[in-house]
Amino acid sequence: MIEVVNVRKSYRSGDRQVEALRGIDCRIAKGRFAFIVGPSGSGKSTLLYLLGGLDRPSEGSIRVEDQDLTTMSESDMNVFRRDKIGFIFQAFNLISNLTAIENVLVPFLPRGLTPELKQRASELLTQVGLGDRLDHRPYQLSGGEQQRVAIARALIKDPILVLADEPTGELDSRTGDEIYRILRRMQNVRQTTLVVVTHDRRFITPDDLVLEIQDGQLKSDGLVEAQDDLAEAEIGFEPRLSRSNLLEGKDFIDDGPN
Ligand SMILES: Nc1ncnc2c1ncn2[C@@H]1O[C@H](COP(=O)(O)OP(=O)(O)OP(=O)(O)O)[C@@H](O)[C@H]1O
Ligand SMILES: [Mg+2]
């Protein structure tokens, strides 16, 4: 699903060259929950942004579902990102003068809104527990609620891949649990592939793929796991549920309070 081959990324700042990624190889099968972990400055966000086509590697190639991000034109890349990738950031990146439902609909604003889209946005917000907050603006929402709006915004396009950069970094642990419950449900029900950067390993389960990055390189155990994953991909990773079962409306209802 995602194939990263010998990816390097260097930044030039002034006369200094920073080698943020120094030869990354990994493969992430469809429907996987993958975590990128490692110390501050090790290159986690850089890798995540490259996977989402927000930036291009200096060397190497990245394929996401048979699309080669490294050779795609700028405009194809924009369309790919807009239609296929859901981004969730640590700082929720909501637009402050728009309501919750308008923020969810932001990806579609350039193309115009339809009643169906508005209905879908409202359903998604209901599914993340914000059915009674549709017309609240970000300052009228708690941090966890804002993050759930950001998740609904990432989901409305039914992305094949969701990329999250420390999605619970600014939330208390209970709210963090809730955010991960929503993300897990996405993985299980919608077969979405998730790649999440985190400093908090307590959300990682034994089934997850862990890519441990240090100094711009994957540590060996990360590589071993990535290889296991490759084997799994080659024998055919069984989807838990087909994508045709998606979007029936009931796919995302929460179990209620834990
Ligand atoms: N636009 C840029 N220009 C120059 N250097 C950059 C740029 N973006 C990142 N870097 C450098 O690349 C390295 C990797 O940065 P990155 O943001 O990927 O780290 P990270 O692992 O996400 O860290 P953190 O956990 O603190 O978020 C760092 O040394 C950083 O200073
Ligand atoms: Mg980062």
Does ligand 1 come within 6 angstroms of the Cβ of 40? Answer: yes
**Is the Cβ–Cβ distance between 155 and 86 less than 8 Å?**
yes
Non-local (6+) Cβ contacts of 249 within 8 A are 123
CA of 220 to the centre of ligand 1 (A): 21
Among 23-37, 94-108, 111-125, 168-182, the range scoring the smallest mean pLDDT is 168-182
pLDDT recorded at residue 66: 86
CATH topology of domain 2-240: Rossmann fold (3.40.50)
Non-local (6+) Cβ contacts of 142 within 8 A are 175
pLDDT recorded at residue 229: 52
Does ligand 1 come within 6 angstroms of the Cβ of 11? Answer: yes
Beta pairing partners, 165? 197
147-170 pLDDT, tens per residue?
899 999 998 888 999 999 998 887
Read off the pLDDT of each residue in 207-229 and give the average, rounded to a whole number: 76
d(CA 18, CA 15): 10
Q: Look at residue 30 and tell me whether its pLDDT is greater than 80.
A: yes
74-93 pLDDT, tens per residue?
999 999 998 899 999 888 78
Among 50-54, 62-66, 129-133, 221-225, the range scoring the smallest mean pLDDT is 221-225
User: What percentage of the chain reaches a pLDDT higher than 90?
Assistant: 59
Beta pairing partners, 17? 12
CA of 41 to the centre of ligand 2 (A): 7
Instruction: Pick the residue whose CA is nearest to atom 16 on ligand 1.
Output: 43
- Compute how many other C-beta atoms are within 10 angstroms of the C-beta atom of residue 13: 7
CA of 23 to the centre of ligand 2 (A): 18
CA 8 distance to own-chain centroid: 21
**What's the predicted TM-score (pTM) here?**
0.83
Residue type, 58: S
List alpha helices for 31-132, DSSP H. 44-51, 74-84, 100-104, 115-127
